[in-house]
Amino acid sequence: MVELSVVVPVFNEEESLDHLLPRLVQALEQFGRSWEVVLVDDGSTDGSWEKLRAWVARQKGLRAIRLRRNFGQTAAMSAGFHHARGRLIITLDADLQNDPNDIPLLVETLERQSLDVVSGWRKERQDPFLTRRLPSQLANALISRFTGVRLHDYGCTLKVYRREVIENLSLYGEMHRFLPALASWVGGSIGEVVVHHHPRRFGRSKYGLSRTTRVILDLLTVNFLLRYSTRPIQIFGRWGLGTLFTGLVLLAVMAIPHLLYPFFKTHWIEMLVGLAKRPFWVTTPFMLIFFGIQFISMGLLAELQTRTYHESQRKPVYTVRDILDSTPPAQEPHP
């Protein structure tokens, strides 16, 4: 086992790799800890895999894992976690926007403050405001509010984790951005430090406004798992009682004026009677609310079923095509 494992998801970053890897190797060697770099090619369609193959052939300490297709960043990070051997696991983007020289700061903060996770905070973020920074700020506020783990920058990939906290977490969908909240769920302590951020030099961002809906849906899932995964009746029961109460109130509003009208022929009772004679316009909003709750409930139940399916059969969310390793695994001592 080495001290540090750096997991780097790679997707169509051919131009960035020749600039990233020398800086990363230099930063790790200057830090003076034993290390390895686990590079996960998430089904790149450019020359990223050929670049990784060449680097593994000439640089010790690198491991390259090639997935059979593009499974997404969460699956790529999960593959990296499964193959990492380090006591501490660090995640880093391959697009040159994270600075490898910040790794010692994260590791020293984690050890000095006895934390389990330290997340980077891109305080001076070098991205467009409307399409990247503003949605990210809104997402960070929502995630902090719903999960109870308050961080300024959930979207920063540059983070360090203790192995015992991360190795038992199962990741699906877009869950990689919620890793600090999931780590807190299993008892981990979370910290945050300001890190450097650089403008993108090559290629184009894989993120945009289109991911907002996926983030919101995954946030609902995480919030449900953190609060109700072991007691789902607490949430579904409340919704059920609320729907039942609403239906009873609506029934009373429609029935009582009919009962009172023969005795109290007032204007407002007459209006209620007229409204009650148009049940379609009264019930449609309530039916829509009811169906919306049902759809959300089915989605959350489907999330639980997905996790049960994968975890009971130990099925990973990715499949590996090739593995290249310039550092052989440590040998167990002979008895």
- pLDDT > 70 in the chain, percent: 71
pLDDT value for 111: 95
pLDDT at 112 over 90: yes
Token pair 């509003």: residue: 253
Pairing between β-strand 35-41 and β-strand 88-91 as defined by DSSP bridges: unpaired
d(CA 302, CA 172): 13
Tokens of 71: 């499974």
pLDDT tens digits for range 247-303: 677 667 666 666 655 555 555 555 555 655 666 555 655 666 676 677 677 667 766
- Segment 141-151 mean pLDDT: 83
pLDDT of residue 1: 74
66 or 321, which is more confident: 66
CB atoms within 10 A of CB 151: 21
Burial label, 284 (beta-carbon count in 10 A; 0-12, 13-18, 19+)? exposed
State the angle between helix axes of 279-313 and 267-276 in degrees (0 to 180), rounded to the nearest 10.
50
Q: Which range among 47-51, 121-125, 126-130 has the greatest average pLDDT?
A: 47-51
Residue 335: band (very low, low, confident or very high) from pLDDT cuts 50, 70, 90: very low
Higher pLDDT residue, 66 or 229? Answer: 66
Per residue in 40-69, pLDDT (tens digit) is 999 999 999 999 999 999 999 999 999 999
**Predicted confidence (pLDDT) at residue 14 exceeds the cutoff of 80:** yes
CATH number of 4-211+321-325: 3.90.550.10
Question: To the nearest whole number, what is the mean pLDDT of the chain?
Answer: 80
| Rounded-to-integer distance, Cα 168 and Cα 82, Å | 10
Q: State residue 331's pLDDT score.
A: 39
For the ranges 96-105, 133-142, 233-242, the lowest mean pLDDT is seen at 233-242
pLDDT surpasses 70 at 209? no
Give the highest mean pLDDT range of 19-28, 176-185, 245-254. Answer: 19-28
pLDDT higher for 199 or 292? 199
pLDDT of residue 169: 78
Judged by DSSP in three states, 120 sits in strand
Residue 332's pLDDT is: 40
pLDDT at site 208 = 55
**Rounded mean pLDDT of 198-217?**
68
Q: What is the pTM of this model?
A: 0.73
Q: Which of 1-5, 62-66, 307-311 has the highest mean pLDDT?
A: 62-66
| CA 266 – CA 269 distance, rounded (Å) | 5
The rounded distance, in Å, linking the Cα atoms of 226 and 220 is: 10
Once rounded to an integer, what is the mean pLDDT over residues 94-119? 94
